[in-house]
Structure 1
Amino acid sequence: MITPRTARQCGKADYGWLQARYTFSFGHYFDPELLGYAALRVLNQEVLAPGASFQPRTYPKVDILNVILEGEAEYRDSEGHHIQAQAGEALLLSTQPGLSYSEHNLSKENALTRIQLWLDACPERENPPLQKITLAALPQQLLASPDGSKESLQLRQQVWIHQIKLEEGQQLSLPLHGPRAYLQSIHGTVHALTSAKEKEALTCGDGAFIRDEANITLLADTPLRALLIDLPL
């Protein structure tokens, strides 16, 4: 089953220095029916103005995945770890209770555009505080996984995150590990097809809940970039 969550339905914010679209409840946007989806707690698409920053703040024990679409950012924690990431890279922060984390747009002229995901972390799992990979120009790339397979970022949760990049008319089928997944279009239009021949069209910024499917087939109507988040638990 596929249930769309269109960009128009999402929560929105415009603070001048920050423009954001929230898939789930976040900040001032609250919907008791949308507090997350399995281990996925946050899926935000955000634009930080030139020179803007998120000042140091603490988080629950979550893995924070940032996919940088445009610009360059720096991330720091209160233990002195720091790393920079730019367009074409993905960064994973393995947050710890009691530590604070900041994010800075390094450019004084250009905006920073990124997608951010928060995933619940298993309490007994510990990973490096900062991880980074380069995004590949492939139809499918495993960005993050529980064991870091295929040179992916290593999560503290049973979740698999794929980047999808398809040309117009190209088709891709992916198996899923369990009964739940979430599909997020970054740009482009796609038809998502299920084994029951259910068909749902998504366009730029749209998402979709996927339930009780062993695999999903994506057919790009235009050049497509998307994330597929496989959430079996």
Structure 2
Amino acid sequence: MIKSRTAQECGKADFGWLQARYTFSFGHYFDPKLMGYASLRVLNQEILAPGASFQPRTYPRVDVLNLVLQGEAEYRDSEGNSVRVSVGEAALLSTQPNVSYSEHNLSANKPLTRMQLWLDACPEHENPLIQKIAVGNQRHLLLASPTGDDNSLQLRQQVWIHHLNLKAGEKQEFTLHGPRAYLQSIHGQADALGGNSDTRQSLVCGDGAFIHQEQTLTIIARTPLQALLIDLPV
């Protein structure tokens, strides 16, 4: 099964300093049927106004992945650790109990646009507190994985996150690790095909798709495409 979650169906917020689109329940947006998907708790695209900040807050035990699409952000924790992340880079925060985290748009005149994911973290795993990776423009990058394969960010969960940057007409095939995955179009249009030729779903910019009980997945770009595939066996 491949079932779309269109950008128009997502929760939205506009607070002036912050504009956001929420795939799952988050903040003021609540849908009891959309509390996450497997270990994926949060998938947001947010725009912070120039100079805007998220003030320090604590998190449940999750890995927080931030992919910067425009601008430059700084992430700080209450232990004195910090990282700067520019467009084309991603950072992973392995959140800790009783530690607070803040986010700042470092530009005084440009907005910050980024994707943010929260993934449940296994209680017995500990990783570096802050990790960072350059995404670049290669057609396929393993962005994060449980064991840091291929110099990817290392997660505290059995999840594989792929970043795609395809030209129109290009395709990428995947063998999934388990029964669930989620596909998110960041920019561009694509077709997602399951192992059964009848299982096909079209996505436009900002759309996502729940993938269930598909052993393989083929993504075909109909326009230049930037996308994330989140392979969620648990």
Equivalent positions of 1:151-170 (< 5 A) are 151-170=151-170
Separation of aligned partners in 1, 2:174 and 2:163 = 12
Residue matched to 1:118: 118
TM-score (norm 1): 0.99
Separation of aligned partners in 2, 1:199 and 1:101 = 40
What is the number of residues matched between the two proteins?
233
Residue matched to 2:144: 144
TM-score (norm 2): 0.99
Residue matched to 1:31: 31
Sequence identity (%): 67
Separation of aligned partners in 2, 1:223 and 1:3 = 22
Equivalent positions of 1:40-79 (< 5 A) are 40-79=40-79
Residue matched to 1:127: 127
User: Unpaired segments of 5 or more residues in structure 2?
Assistant: none
Q: Which runs of 4+ in 1 moved over 3 A?
A: none
Shift of residue 199, structure 1, vs aligned partner? 1.2
SS at match of 1:150: helix
Shift of residue 171, structure 1, vs aligned partner? 1.1
Separation of aligned partners in 2, 1:83 and 1:171 = 34
The residue type paired with residue 76 of structure 1 is: R
Shift of residue 161, structure 1, vs aligned partner? 0.1
Shift of residue 137, structure 1, vs aligned partner? 1.6
Cα RMSD for the two superposed structures:
0.5
Separation of aligned partners in 1, 2:162 and 2:195 = 20
Shift of residue 160, structure 1, vs aligned partner? 0.2
SS at match of 2:8: helix
The residue type paired with residue 90 of structure 1 is: A
Shift of residue 184, structure 1, vs aligned partner? 0.1
Shift of residue 145, structure 1, vs aligned partner? 0.3
Equivalent positions of 1:78-97 (< 5 A) are 78-97=78-97
The residue type paired with residue 214 of structure 2 is: E
Residue matched to 2:208: 207
Equivalent positions of 1:156-195 (< 5 A) are 156-195=156-195
| 1:56-104, Cα deviation, whole Å (9 max, x unpaired) | 0000010000000000000100000011000010100000110000000
User: Unpaired segments of 5 or more residues in structure 1?
Assistant: none
